[in-house]
């Protein structure tokens, strides 16, 4: 599979995920929250299963505490997904804000043809992250799904508009 084909497939998947997130923001935010909870709970179980591999009593204690924390936090998120979305909204806002700033830095350091697309992606992503943080917690139940969908859409557009590294060096 060529890099261009892989980029196009990835962009199509991003557009589909974006459309689903925008059309069903509460559902997508809840699904994301539940996924994070399940992942944390599984991580906790694996930490607890690996206690025997830790060296010394302190190592075993710290691994056990880490495992218990992950397990309890994951189960809490699964048991209370709507309440957990409030925290997830703040986390997602900070994450999008950071990603946007990194995209802006990449655009500033870049000399490629697609510099404008990277700049636009960074601006939109940073703006969306800033909106989530500024409106937190009042818009927590719908904003994560909607704004994440918008960010995914712009990332797909950038991916489609950015030439491959090999193509860019030939022109």
pLDDT digits (tens, 9 = 90+) for 106-137: 888 878 777 888 888 889 889 988 988 888 88
| Lookup result for tokens 């139940």 | 141
pLDDT digits (tens, 9 = 90+) for 28-86: 888 888 998 999 999 999 999 999 888 888 888 988 999 999 999 999 999 999 888 88
Give me the chain's average pLDDT, please: 86
CB atoms inside a 10 Å sphere around CB 37: 21
C-alpha distances in angstroms, 53 versus 47, 64, 104, 132, 148? Answer: 10, 11, 43, 41, 39
Cα(32)–Cα(95) distance, rounded to whole angstroms?
Answer: 14
Give the burial string for 61-87 (b: 16+ CB within 10 Å, else e).
Answer: eebeebbeebbebbeebbeebeebbbe
HSE-CB of 152 using CA atoms within 13 angstroms? 21
Cα(133)–Cα(27) distance, rounded to whole angstroms?
Answer: 20
Q: Where are the domains of the chain?
A: 3-163
pTM metric for this prediction:
0.61
């Amino acid at each position: 599979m060529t890099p261009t084909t892989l980029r196009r497939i990835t962009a199509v998947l991003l557009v589909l995920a974006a459309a689903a997130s925008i059309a069903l923001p509460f559902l997508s935010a809840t699904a994301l929250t539940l996924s994070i909870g399940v992942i944390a709970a599984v991580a906790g179980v694996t930490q607890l299963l690996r206690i025997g591999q830790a060296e010394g009593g302190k190592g075993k204690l710290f691994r056990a505490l880490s495992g218990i924390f992950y397990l309890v936090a994951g189960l809490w998120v699964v048991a209370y997904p709507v309440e957990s979305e409030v925290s997830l909204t703040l986390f997602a806002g900070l994450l999008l804000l950071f990603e946007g700033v990194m995209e802006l830095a990449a655009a500033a350091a870049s000399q490629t043809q697609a510099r404008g697309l990277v700049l636009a992606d960074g601006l939109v992503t940073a703006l969306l992250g800033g909106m989530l943080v500024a409106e937190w917690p009042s818009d927590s139940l719908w904003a994560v799904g909607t704004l994440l969908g918008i960010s995914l859409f712009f990332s797909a557009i950038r991916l489609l508009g950015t030439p491959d590294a090999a193509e860019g060096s030939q022109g």
